Amino acid sequence: MSLCLQNVTRVVDGQIHIDDANLTLEPGSFNVLLGRTLAGKTSLMRLMAGLDKPTSGQILMNGVDVTGVPVQKRNISMVYQQFINYPNWTVFENIASPLRLEKVPEAEITRRVNETAEMLHIEALLQRRPLELSGGQQQRTAMARALVKDASLILFDEPLVNLDYKLREELRQEIRELLISRNSIAVYASTEPNEALALGGTTTLLHEGKVIQTGVSSDVYRYPVNIDAAELFSEPPINLIRGQVSEAEVTFDSTVHFPLNQDIRGLQPGDYYFGVRPSHIGLVPHGDDDLEVAVKVEIAEISGSETFMHVRNDHFNLVAQLSGVHEYHTDTSIKVYLPTHKLFVFSLDGRMLQAPGRMYTGE
């Protein structure tokens, strides 16, 4: 079953929740909706499910217009970020509930519930009730209820956000493995770029209700179409520096400049924005093209095995994502290094002109 959104807009009380969205999802595909909180991910999924109707536009399934068809008449399942289970029912009855609504024979219900529970490693918990389960077990139960139905469209609305890191990693992998053998469309909403990359498949970037880019996840990460896409698909967000291109070099300020490299030699002289991912900035040079920048430390945020270093000079601010623990006092003078072959180039109106490894070929 294919799913196609054509010029879909959703307006609620004068507020635009979804703005002229066009998107096609293929059978058997795994699709990530990536965007910040309130970007429109849940709104778009509710439209896909039939829980809400668009103000304008069409939603097609297998080429059939289902814009006004309610959720009860669509073969869909949905997993929410909250652990939504019926507290007075056993795990078995929770998982079986959508099959009972469809009046599936009892023997088939038992077979499918046991099979799905085994896939999610909760077969020993079938006679317990949700309040007797851990958070991870409750979410596995909710996922099993969505998967047991063998729906054509399965929607995951940030299903792992309330779980600890280790459990999220484990369930993320299991979700992909469980869906590989199915021909259903899976849609997974997330606010985390690293999660989108880990899940693979395709990624659709949502920003203020607009679909700004969609494609293979790794391609969208490497080749963002504009500054908004580059910022969304980078955590922390990509650093932006305004610079000037001359016939021979790039200048960020009177002291920071470097010769044009092969990738950006075709740029016309003028002003541009240059982007560098925080993970590409280092405290020591790693290559011949590393640009040395003198800065002062604003704050060093230590997060587990990483340090997020916020630095500045008189012209721009940077965030560096560094491996290991690095402790610096505020206003400490240090030098950081930017690999110029990993710089993105954007026009002043935000369009991506050049990405690392892809030579500029003209606007």
What single string gives the DSSP state of each residue in 338-363? EEGGG-EEE-TTSBEEEBTTB-----
If asked whether residues 227 and 244 sit together in one domain, one would say no
Burial 164-195 (b: 16+ CB within 10 A, else e): eeebbeebbeebbebbeebebbbbbbbbbbeb
The model's pLDDT over 105-155, given as tens digits with 9 standing for 90+, comes to 999 999 999 999 998 889 999 999 999 999 889 988 998 998 898 899 999
Work out the average pLDDT over 29-52: 96
Q: Are residues 274 and 328 in the same domain?
A: yes
pLDDT of residue 358: 66
Angle (CA) 295-300-302 rounded to 5° is 150
Q: What is the pLDDT of residue 150?
A: 82
Indicate whether 176 and 250 sit together in one domain. no
Residue indicated by tokens 């369009």: 351
Q: Can you tell me the mean pLDDT for 81-89? A: 85
Q: How buried is 34 (Cβ within 10 angstroms: 0-12 exposed, 13-18 middle, 19+ buried)?
A: buried
The whole-angstrom separation of Cα 46 and Cα 58 is 14
Q: Does position 268 have pLDDT exceeding 80, yes or no?
A: yes
What sign results for the dihedral spanned by CA atoms 339, 342, 345, 350?
A: negative
Residue 264 belongs to domain spanning: 239-354
Nearest alpha-carbon partner for 319 in 340, 294, 298: 298
* pLDDT in the model for residue 1: 75
- Read off the tokens for 28: 């058997």
Among the ranges given (163-177, 199-213, 233-247), the one the predictor scored with the smallest mean pLDDT: 163-177
**pLDDT, average across residues 276-285:** 95
Q: How confident is the model at residue 359 (pLDDT cuts 50, 70, 90)?
A: low
Query: Is residue 21 domain-shared with residue 163, that is, in the same domain?
Result: yes
Number of domains making up the chain? 2
- For residue 362, pLDDT over 80 is answered with no
